[in-house]
Structure 1
Amino acid sequence: MRVLVVDDTLLARTMLERTLRKWGYHVDSASNSKDALQLLRKEPIQIVLTDWVMPGGDGPSLCRDIRALNLPSYTYIILVTSLEGTESASEGLEAGADDFIRKPVQLDELHARIRAGERVLALEKALQDRNDDLQNAQNLINRDLQTAAKMQEELLPASSSKYLNVTIDWLFCPSSVVSGDIFNFFRLDETHIGFYSLDVAGHGVSAAMMSFTLFRLLTTEMQRGSPLKRPLTKKPYYQIVPAAKVMAALNSQFQTNTKSWLYFTMAYGMVDTTAKTIELSQAGHPNPIYISQSQPAQFIGTGGFPIGLIEDAEYDTIVMNYLPGDRLVLYSDGITECENMNGEMFGQERLLDYLEDNRARPIKEVSKAFNEQMRIWRGCDSYEDDISMLILEMG
């Protein structure tokens, strides 16, 4: 333990130095504040024992200067004073002193106060070590989250894609580093396109891990146990599973429990480009919006139960014919429940109006402009919930 004695009186300084060395401390000394501060900048000194009254800067001024140094470790300061009264004590504490000792100095009392300072410094060091450990752990978690975010970003489909004459674009804004929203579109076969949008309850790591699991599961590869296609023993050697049965199978597989309470909402469907039909099933996900060439934009869907909440829940299917240029929009509730600075939600009707007003624009422009509109609405670049939107335009 290193102690710095600051006193303009040589005799007092020498007596304190000898006593402290006798007690086993490494001792430095200075006759004024300027020399004391120079030593503190150069050496790791733990305790400062300073006189109150000194020429060229008193004890409280030295306390303030020490605190202003922002040293890497805490310095415990004991003021030695002959002043009486609570006003002087308040002034010293306000300046940054930790303790006082009155003149004439009693050696037993001085030793006890220095030992008390050592205990405080030990606690301070333990706290700093714990904080360093926590910071290192947080840095490791952040690196892992950044890696997970990069992996999740790589899962996103290509924007402005075109499958079987169906043009698709999307918008994705996670609320944190990783997201519980996930969406995708893919060819089921030579004439069918599958698509989905889902939102895992909650945010952060647990929701993101669930979305990773679902992304890997919702594949067209039958050898990986796809719920979207079943193998057959005769041509065409597969069967595309109806949308409602896909929902029921997922609900059976992902029944939640009281330990995790992880469930998710979802809209899943397929486009039959030969029959010119769209088949759609909904599991608690926000009602999709359909923009036909002949009618205003409208909400469609039957609601349904979120997947994982109700055992043996049944799901409905809607089938509708489409014309070239018709659009289908899936989105998460992070959009409709997004609040502005006044606490007002964006709402379904505002989203419906936006899509109706922009029906003539290319879907890539629609998603890009909507992203900017959401930023303006929110008043900042961060969101309380994940935001995702999937737009399909029929060819």
Structure 2
Amino acid sequence: TFGQGAGCAADLQYWEQTARQIRRCAAGDKIVVEKSTLPVRTAAAMTRILGSGDSRAHFEVLSNPEFLAEGTAIADLGSPDRVLIGGNDTPAGRAAVAELVALYSAWVPRERILTANVWSSELSKLAANAFLAQRVSSINAISEICEATEADVTEVARAVGMDSRIGAKFLKAGVGFGGSCFKKDILNLVYLCESYGLKAAADYWRQVVDFNNHQQERFVARMLRAMFNTVAGKRLALLGFAFKADTGDTRESPAIRIASLLAEERAVVVVNDPQALDNARRDLSACADRIVFEADPYRAVQDADALALLTDWRLYRELDYARIFAAMRKPAFVFDGRNALDHEALSRLGFNVYAVGKSPRTNA
């Protein structure tokens, strides 16, 4: 957020302080393990700091990035897809890698423990998150085509995902990705590419983030068109604010941008989430005078003109939508930003249903 590389580069002041503290306190040789997502070649800088001055200790720096998903971190740690350990290709480096491999071997099958050089390990974490985010933006780009051509993005994703070369994961269209990692790591990758003069690669990865922003703007624009080209003065209930279900984390949540854009259109925005309301108040403080925060989903939709599902909490799939329809103003609209609801059933109740990547189901 400041200085050269602002908005893209990682803030590295804290790892440097940590490295200096380790050097100051170490009484003997140490293996230092990077767990955070760091730019490629950070380990080299850390090694220089640890080895500077009058320190007599020897340090081996390993890269061991975390591949844990929020909401399932404990399960991911207990049964990981893989553990990646990067070290120097020297006798001391190989010995340090072997120590960490032995530690993980207590519960992780050896074939799931991968070893690499430090730079490959550091880059792999950035690349993994970039690939996952790219899949989200890719299927969302297809969703835009589906809406224009009356194709169904769920059917397209199923057909594409059954190709064993592609697979079905992260092919669910919606309002875009959020969380603390994807955007940060992609922009870190963009900055890395730019630092090495790799403009085409930087532009390619930046487009993943740009399209994610576009998807949220497009979602709001579709709401406006469906609701007679204005939402001014209309009550809009946003169901869900966390970036994904089963967490209260709202960092980079698509709901922040969507709620803000709707507030700019002078809608009465009502935010509901079972865990994230406190964070939502903080995230929307700039437009808090136009936002209502409501803990009860049924109260949130009372007299609403539309509801928009932004987080696919199980709670929202199990609501009584007949009761909700009766409580809303007519015509009543549902905008399913996660394609998590039963659209046919909602249409039978009388809702006008707009789902991402699908043709609308309209009623009078």
User: Which TM-score band (shorter chain)?
Assistant: under 0.3
**Structure ranking higher in strand proportion:** 1
TM norm structure 2: 0.23
TM-score normalized by the length of structure 1: 0.21
Over alpha carbons, which structure has the higher Rg?
1
